[in-house]
Amino acid sequence: MDITALNEKIRRESEFIDILFTEIGKVIVGQKQMLERLVIGMLGNGHVLLEGVPGLAKTLAIKTLAASMKSKFQRIQFTPDLLPADLIGTLIYNQKESNFTIKKGPLFANFILADEINRAPAKVQSALLEAMQERQVTISDTTFRLEEPFLVLATQNPIEQEGTYPLPEAQVDRFMLKVKITYPTRDEELKIMKLNSALDAPKINAVISPEDILKARKLVGEIYVDEKIEKYILDIVFATRSPKDYGLDELTDLISYGASPRASINLALGARAMAFVRRRGYVIPEDVRSICMDILRHRIAVTYEAEAEDITSETIISKILNKIEVP
C-alpha cells in the first residue's frame, strides 16, 4: 500500500471537515470535543450518548449539525408515558377508503435527538433499539429501511435520577460513543453570552450533503491501521477482561465485566474516523488514546468494591492506558 498516496487522498477528500466545523462554529462556541465526537459517530455510522447537565448546547449542536448538512432533524422528548407508536408511527383508519394507512413517526429522519432517553420505559427503548441496530422500523407487518445517514444522539441528565429507567446494558453497548459534556470556560461563556444577546442569530448554511458523508465513510474504511496498532487496541480491550495478564492485579476485584468485542470494533473504527478528522491517511497511537475513553467508559461494569472506593470505569481505563505499552 502506498501510504503517501493514501495520505494525500485523505487530506484532499477530508477538506469538508474544516468547512463543517467553521460553519458550526458560527453558533456553537467551544465544545470542540463534543462536535468532534458527533462527526466521528457520523463517519463511523455509530450512535452517540451524551451526558451533561442542562444548558450545555447538546440540542443546539445536533440541530446545527443537521442544518449544515441538508438533512432532516427530529427532537424527541422521552417521558414515562411515551409509547412506541410515538417514535415509529402507527396505522390510521381511513374512513373514506375503508382501510388502514401508515403514518410514519419522528424516527424517519437523519438526525434524532433522544432527549433524556432514560425517562422512557422498556417498550419504547425496544422500538428505538431496532432502529439503532438494524437501521429499520417495523409498523404492523411492514418494515421500512431508514434513510442514511441515520444518527441517534441521546442525552442523559447525570444529576437527577428520580423517575428514570436505567438503560439495559445491551442498549448502552449499541452506542458507539458515550461523551461527557463539561461547562465552558470563562472566555467561552463570555462569547456565548454576547452571541445570544445579539438580535440576529447567525444563519447556518448547508455546506455538505448526506452523499458527502456516505462517501467519507467509505474513505474511513481505507485508512491504514498498522498491525502494531491493532495489537495495541486488543491489548487495551483484553486488559479490561483479564487485568492480571497485563500486570494490573489491583483491577481484578474492581471490574465486574470487561468490554465486549463491539468495543474492539468501535475502537478501531473510531481511531480511523479520528485520523480522517485530523486529515491523515493512517492511524497513530494518539488517535486510539484520544477516543478510547468515549468508546469504553460505558462498556466496563465496576464492582460494589469499586463503587465503595469511588472508583469509576474512567479511573480503570486511565490505569490501563498508563500501563499498556504504546507502540
**Whole-angstrom distance, CA of residue 169 vs CA of residue 299:** 8
SS3 285: helix
Range of the domain at 181: 31-197+207-213
**Whole-angstrom distance, CA of residue 25 vs CA of residue 34:** 12
Across the range 206-232, mean pLDDT stands at: 90
pLDDT digits (tens, 9 = 90+) for 81-96: 888 888 888 888 877 7
At residue 162, the pLDDT reads 56
pLDDT digits (tens, 9 = 90+) for 223-243: 999 999 999 999 999 999 999
**Whole-angstrom distance, CA of residue 161 vs CA of residue 163:** 6
Across the range 65-94, mean pLDDT stands at: 86
At residue 198, the pLDDT reads 66
**Whole-angstrom distance, CA of residue 270 vs CA of residue 36:** 11
Q: Spell out where 129-202 has E strands.
A: 136-139, 142-145, 151-156, 175-180
At residue 199, the pLDDT reads 63
Task: Read off the pTM.
Answer: 0.85
Domain identity same for 172 and 289 = no
At residue 163, the pLDDT reads 55
Element (H, E) at 110: none
> Tell me, what CATH number does 138's domain have?
3.40.50.300
C-alpha grid cell, residue 252? 481484578
Residue type, 159: I
* Mean residue pLDDT across the chain: 86
Q: Is 3 left (phi over 0), alpha (psi -120 to 50) or beta?
A: alpha
- 126's CB contacts (< 8 A; 6+ apart) are 84
Across the range 251-265, mean pLDDT stands at: 89
Domain identity same for 276 and 166 = no
Check whether 161 has a pLDDT greater than 70: no
Domain identity same for 92 and 237 = no
Domain identity same for 156 and 256 = no
Q: Which of 80-84, 135-139, 152-156, 317-321 has the highest mean pLDDT?
A: 317-321
Residue type, 153: L
Across the range 107-134, mean pLDDT stands at: 85
pLDDT digits (tens, 9 = 90+) for 6-30: 888 888 888 888 888 888 888 887 7
Among residues 213, 248, 278, the one where a domain terminates is 213
**Nearest 5°: phi and psi at 47?**
-95, 160
Across the range 143-170, mean pLDDT stands at: 77
SS3 209: coil
C-alpha grid cell, residue 6? 493514501
Across the range 50-59, mean pLDDT stands at: 77
At residue 277, the pLDDT reads 92
pLDDT category, 127, cuts 50, 70, 90?
confident
Q: Give the count of domains, the chain.
A: 2
C-alpha grid cell, residue 17? 471537515
